[in-house]
Amino acid sequence: MSQQSFAFKMRVVHRYLGFFLAGIMAVYALSGIVLIFRDTDALKNKTEISKTIAPNISKEALGKTLKMKKLKVNQEEGDIYFFKDGQYNKATGAVEYTKKELPYLLGKMTHLHKAKSSEPLYFLNIFFGLSLLFFVISSFWMFMPSSSIFKKGMYFTAGGIILTLLLLFI
């Protein structure tokens, strides 16, 4: 196989894989931006919840009962536990809290972005990651190495690598 035909095949696969993945790349781009603000309430809808659960739940079990992973009781006054955005009366079982969630579509997009190995979506994340790696590698076959565009591209590549290393280690 000649170098020119290999380069041509790389460009063709790069092109059509890019078209095929355009939608998922848009989702990952948007959800990645949203995930930057996950430690804030930006874009989140607030829902006030009042309900009664079992009384006398321990501080440690309260988060599990309410399905709140990082629930921490900050203060205790009599029979009332106070936690971020809510309170629980251990005598009566009454609980009131504010639930903050992204809108449905943004929530689904960020869930896709953060899929874990225990979920079926992780195969998509692996495929997408490998595809992005292919885009990185195949981009070097877009132009002939002797062309001025390729040479200028190598300067931009070096700049991008240096910037990445600076961001990683500073």
Span 132-149, average pLDDT: 93
Give the H/E segment covering residue 89.
Answer: strand 86-89
Nearest Cα residue to 113 out of 5, 27, 20, 14: 27
Q: Angle CA(160)–CA(166)–CA(167) in degrees, nearest 5?
A: 90
User: Which amino acid belongs to residue 67?
Assistant: K
Is the per-residue pLDDT at 3 higher than 70? no
> What confidence score (pLDDT) does residue 101 get?
94
Dist. CA 81–CA 113, nearest whole Å? 35
Element (H, E) at 51: strand 45-52
Which pLDDT tens digit goes with each residue over 35-71?
Answer: 999 999 999 999 999 999 999 999 999 999 999 988 9
- Give pLDDT, residue 158: 97
Closest CA to 146 of 3, 44, 17, 35: 3
pLDDT above 60: residue 1: no
What pLDDT score was predicted for residue 16? Answer: 96
pLDDT of residue 121: 87
Contacts of 47 (CB under 8 A, 6+ apart): 98, 99, 100, 101
For position 48, what pLDDT does the model report?
Answer: 97
